[in-house]
Structure 1
Amino acid sequence: MQATKSGICWRLFLFSCVFLESLSQDFGGQTQFICTSVPKDMDICAATLQNSVPGEDLKNTVMQLQETVFQQKENIINQKETIRELTSKLARCESQNSAEPGDARPGGRRKETGTKNTMGDVSRGPADTLTQLSQTLQSLKQRLENLEQFSRSNNSVQANSLKDLLQSKIDDLEKQVLSRVNSIEEGKPGLRNETEQRGRVESTLTSLHQRITDLEKGQRENRPLDKFQLTFPLRTNYMYAKVKKSLPEMFALTVCMWLKSNASPGVGTPFSYAVPGQANELVLIEWGNNPMEILINDKVAKLPFLINDGEWHHICVTWTTRDGVWEAFQDGVKRGYGENLAPYHPIKPQGLLILGQEQDTLGDGFDATQAFVGHLANFHIWDRKLSVEEIYNLATCSSKAQVGNVFAWMETSLDIYGGTSKWTFEACRQLN
């Protein structure tokens, strides 16, 4: 009987020690053991009970501690479940408020996803849309302030002529802003921030209209139709110019223009020509950290141009379908050449020529990250390869310089959209 009692006591004692050690570890503590000397012939259980609480009380204490630990573990499990549930809800909310990224396209060009409106814009979140429109209005405001200063110093002659062109574009922009804000408010009633932004936008538009009215009080200038530049102040997917007529079939070509930009990274897409079934029939693009490229039938040649320094530069690219030979000129100097660029592939007719945007589909699929930012002027296209002397004459404003026989730079040859503006420009004046 004594042996049995001693065995039970030993098991209870060991169980208490193991259990207390486990409890200490669960709560991040450190276990400490207190050793007490016991005479050789003395009953261990008796000694243990003598130096602690009575046996029954010790057993009850252990059971209470065990129950407490179980309750704590259950609480922790419940709390973890709650945390997981809240984390899941937060992730869903964030995913609903985030725009879906575009799909990667071959050659490093990205195709936007979403629904496009008639301006080529992609549907986006309310805050993004209003922010971008506000930026556009701010840019218009800055250009008008510059015009006022120009008007005071030039008797309002050139300024008033240019403001007629901006008037219609601002009217279109106003309709676009109000339409989008109304659709946002109808879809999400009670959005106070969007309502406040609408008020600010309407106020800005009213101020712009008043300034235009004041500037229109004066004599208009009858400037030549080729003495102008296009300005693309923002990297958007709705600012562009469209050439009114298509290109003919061409077995050789020369494309020349004046460019000014300090955009980074990459100046964007000065022009793109798309035909049915081929969006990259003829494209000039500098996107991201890539060098400027010329694409013909989606085949690529890298061009040695360095133009994003905020200065005007004259660039020309020549190409012939025989062996796909190409040459690149900057400021009248030949900078590079190559071959095997879409050899024996003629440039197809019945396409659409866009200035300022890269087309993913015929006349659509614009991507803001590939848009041209800067100034463009004297854009000409020939259906032959110009000589080195002819290109030099163009870059130096020689009296012998010719205009494109396929496309010549004229205001009446273009339609402009989305806030792109026209300003007086004379290339020869830039060189003096």
Structure 2
Amino acid sequence: MQATKNVISWRLFLFYCLFLESSSQDFGGQTQFICTSVPKDMDICAATLQNSVPGEDLKTTVMQLRETVLQQKETIMNQKETIRELTSKLARCESQSGAEPGDARPGGRRKEAGTKNTMGDISRGPADTLAQLSQTLQSLKQRLENLEDLLQSKIDDLEKQVLSRVNSIEEVKPGQRNETEQRGRVESTLTSLHQRITDLEKGQRENRPLDKFQLTFPLRTNYMYAKVKKSLPEMYALTVCMWLKSNASPGVGTPFSYAVPGQANELVLIEWGNNPMEILINDKVAKLPFLINDGKWHHICVTWTTRDGVWEAFQDGVRRGSGENLAPYHPIKPQGLLILGQEQDTLGGGFDATQAFVGDLANFHIWDRKLSIGEIYNLATCSSKAQVGNVFAWMETSLDIYGGASKWTFEACRQLN
């Protein structure tokens, strides 16, 4: 029986190694044996299934093998128990029959023919019993040999199925390689096209003047913005002008905000919610009579002086409103941060998507003086006499752009025609 057990274990181990070798050939190219740690009470086929099963067909095949092995193992264990019991009874019968002919063991009695024997058979003698047990043993041995042959045949069949599946997988590999190569060619083509587009955009930027561009903020987010590289100086008067285009509703958001340490709303232009556009200086507010969210380009300017806080608002070269007492006698402080497209709740941060600017912005300029009505009209009509800001002038090299805001070629005079 030990030999039978060894044969079965050897067959299972051989199949396990064959399966691992086939899997190795499928995924590598060089054959190697893999040593896998298996828990003491775990079946080797179950361990094989957990560690290396290339596909549902292999999984089904190994499960069938595992089920067959378990069934045959249980049958063999039952037969072993029966043989052990019969062998024990045969030994007792042989010892008793050997003492019968004239043996008078102390305290023993002679066993008469026809009396009930150890096996419970009252019609047969010891010789008949021994012959029957011998026949039973031979029958059981024959059955075990038949079971071994059946199990081996099943293992061979399953091995053939597994090898067939592995071969079919290997046949599919060329198609997979072709698909991979095709995908690689497509990705290479896309990369080449992207590089060509980048080169064209680079050439376009190199060929255009540095001030002929616009910033586009397509979405209302808290991460799209542009940052002016230098701070503003201390100012006792100012003029801020720009071109804007937006159809955002409600409100176009915040075209720009300037924050300084201790004051996030030092200088802000905002149209938020259903409120009109407002200019904030040192957190003081003036409502501006601008109507610009019609999807068209508009030129707007705001002037202010610290004396009495006088301000004026111009749209498309025409004065639309004015007032006073806007942060009077408060100079614009230096050492701040100027952001385009977002409203700052803290210095350089605290952006709120609901207050973000959505649309296009161009030709943003700042002066440290109040421009005249004629100068503002020249800016709005693209006159050759128009000036650029002496505090901040609109240049690509003056800005850092973040979050997906984009730059495009822009010429204000062409937009007006």
**SS where residue 108 of structure 1 aligns?**
coil
CA contact (8 A) 1:165 1:421 kept: no
User: Quick check: 189-198 or 408-417, which moved more?
Assistant: 189-198
Change over 3 Å in CA distance of 1:201–1:71 after alignment to 2: closer
- CA offset at residue 35 of structure 1? 94
Partner deviation per Cα, 1:291-341 (whole Å, 9 max, x = no partner): 000000000000000000000000000000000000000000000000000
Change over 3 Å in CA distance of 1:141–1:86 after alignment to 2: closer
- CA offset at residue 281 of structure 1? 0.1
CA contact (8 A) 1:274 1:353 kept: yes
Corresponding position of 1:261: 246
C-alpha distance in structure 1 between counterparts of 2:90 and 2:293, whole Å: 43
User: Quick check: 93-102 or 306-315, which moved more?
Assistant: 93-102
5+ residue gaps, structure 1: 149-163
C-alpha distance in structure 2 between counterparts of 1:414 and 1:315, whole Å: 21
Change over 3 Å in CA distance of 1:71–1:115 after alignment to 2: closer
CA contact (8 A) 1:258 1:376 kept: yes
Change over 3 Å in CA distance of 1:58–1:108 after alignment to 2: closer
- CA offset at residue 200 of structure 1? 19
CA contact (8 A) 1:327 1:334 kept: yes
**SS where residue 219 of structure 1 aligns?**
helix
User: Quick check: 111-120 or 180-189, which moved more?
Assistant: 111-120
Change over 3 Å in CA distance of 1:412–1:302 after alignment to 2: same
C-alpha distance in structure 2 between counterparts of 1:255 and 1:26, whole Å: 70
Change over 3 Å in CA distance of 1:223–1:58 after alignment to 2: closer
Partner deviation per Cα, 1:93-147 (whole Å, 9 max, x = no partner): 9999999999999999999999999999999999999999999999999999999
CA contact (8 A) 1:99 1:124 kept: no
CA contact (8 A) 2:53 2:59 kept: no
Change over 3 Å in CA distance of 1:175–1:31 after alignment to 2: closer
- CA offset at residue 431 of structure 1? 1.1
Change over 3 Å in CA distance of 1:69–1:227 after alignment to 2: closer
User: Quick check: 131-140 or 69-78, which moved more?
Assistant: 131-140
CA contact (8 A) 2:304 2:312 kept: yes
C-alpha distance in structure 1 between counterparts of 2:284 and 2:254, whole Å: 16
C-alpha distance in structure 2 between counterparts of 1:318 and 1:106, whole Å: 136
User: Quick check: 406-415 or 123-132, which moved more?
Assistant: 123-132
What's the TM-score, normalizing by structure 2?
0.54
C-alpha distance in structure 2 between counterparts of 1:336 and 1:78, whole Å: 105
Change over 3 Å in CA distance of 1:48–1:408 after alignment to 2: closer
Corresponding position of 1:153: none
C-alpha distance in structure 1 between counterparts of 2:285 and 2:408, whole Å: 33
C-alpha distance in structure 2 between counterparts of 1:404 and 1:278, whole Å: 24
- CA offset at residue 230 of structure 1? 0.3
User: Quick check: 103-112 or 219-228, which moved more?
Assistant: 103-112
Change over 3 Å in CA distance of 1:41–1:287 after alignment to 2: closer
What's the TM-score, normalizing by structure 1?
0.52
CA contact (8 A) 2:254 2:356 kept: yes
Change over 3 Å in CA distance of 1:387–1:124 after alignment to 2: farther
Change over 3 Å in CA distance of 1:258–1:167 after alignment to 2: farther
**SS where residue 263 of structure 1 aligns?**
coil
Change over 3 Å in CA distance of 1:83–1:336 after alignment to 2: farther
Root mean square deviation of aligned Cα: 39.3
Corresponding position of 1:281: 266
Partner deviation per Cα, 1:45-73 (whole Å, 9 max, x = no partner): 99999999999999999999999999999
CA contact (8 A) 1:377 1:425 kept: yes
C-alpha distance in structure 1 between counterparts of 2:364 and 2:111, whole Å: 27
- CA offset at residue 17 of structure 1? 86
C-alpha distance in structure 2 between counterparts of 1:337 and 1:363, whole Å: 30
CA contact (8 A) 2:117 2:125 kept: no
Change over 3 Å in CA distance of 1:143–1:171 after alignment to 2: farther
Change over 3 Å in CA distance of 1:106–1:141 after alignment to 2: same
User: Quick check: 175-184 or 62-71, which moved more?
Assistant: 62-71
Corresponding position of 2:230: 245
User: Quick check: 46-55 or 351-360, which moved more?
Assistant: 46-55
- CA offset at residue 210 of structure 1? 6.6
CA contact (8 A) 2:79 2:140 kept: no
C-alpha distance in structure 1 between counterparts of 2:62 and 2:108, whole Å: 68
Change over 3 Å in CA distance of 1:226–1:204 after alignment to 2: same
- CA offset at residue 397 of structure 1? 0.6
Change over 3 Å in CA distance of 1:218–1:114 after alignment to 2: farther
Corresponding position of 2:161: 176
The structure with the largest alpha-carbon Rg is 2
C-alpha distance in structure 2 between counterparts of 1:282 and 1:118, whole Å: 113
C-alpha distance in structure 2 between counterparts of 1:247 and 1:85, whole Å: 104
C-alpha distance in structure 2 between counterparts of 1:112 and 1:275, whole Å: 122
CA contact (8 A) 1:9 1:45 kept: no
Change over 3 Å in CA distance of 1:350–1:43 after alignment to 2: closer
- CA offset at residue 212 of structure 1? 3.7
Identity %: 94
Partner deviation per Cα, 1:65-87 (whole Å, 9 max, x = no partner): 99999999999999999999999
C-alpha distance in structure 2 between counterparts of 1:392 and 1:282, whole Å: 23
CA contact (8 A) 1:23 1:69 kept: no
CA contact (8 A) 2:241 2:364 kept: yes
CA contact (8 A) 2:49 2:62 kept: no
Change over 3 Å in CA distance of 1:265–1:62 after alignment to 2: closer
Change over 3 Å in CA distance of 1:95–1:145 after alignment to 2: closer
Change over 3 Å in CA distance of 1:279–1:388 after alignment to 2: same
C-alpha distance in structure 1 between counterparts of 2:335 and 2:20, whole Å: 87
Change over 3 Å in CA distance of 1:198–1:87 after alignment to 2: farther
**May I ask how many residue pairs the two structures share in their alignment?**
417
Change over 3 Å in CA distance of 1:85–1:52 after alignment to 2: closer
User: Quick check: 78-87 or 118-127, which moved more?
Assistant: 118-127
CA contact (8 A) 1:259 1:312 kept: yes
CA contact (8 A) 1:185 1:191 kept: no
Change over 3 Å in CA distance of 1:334–1:366 after alignment to 2: same
C-alpha distance in structure 1 between counterparts of 2:104 and 2:129, whole Å: 23
Change over 3 Å in CA distance of 1:339–1:62 after alignment to 2: same
Structure 1 stretches of 4+ moved >6 Å: 1-148, 164-208, 216-220
C-alpha distance in structure 2 between counterparts of 1:146 and 1:91, whole Å: 26
CA contact (8 A) 2:65 2:155 kept: no
5+ residue gaps, structure 2: none
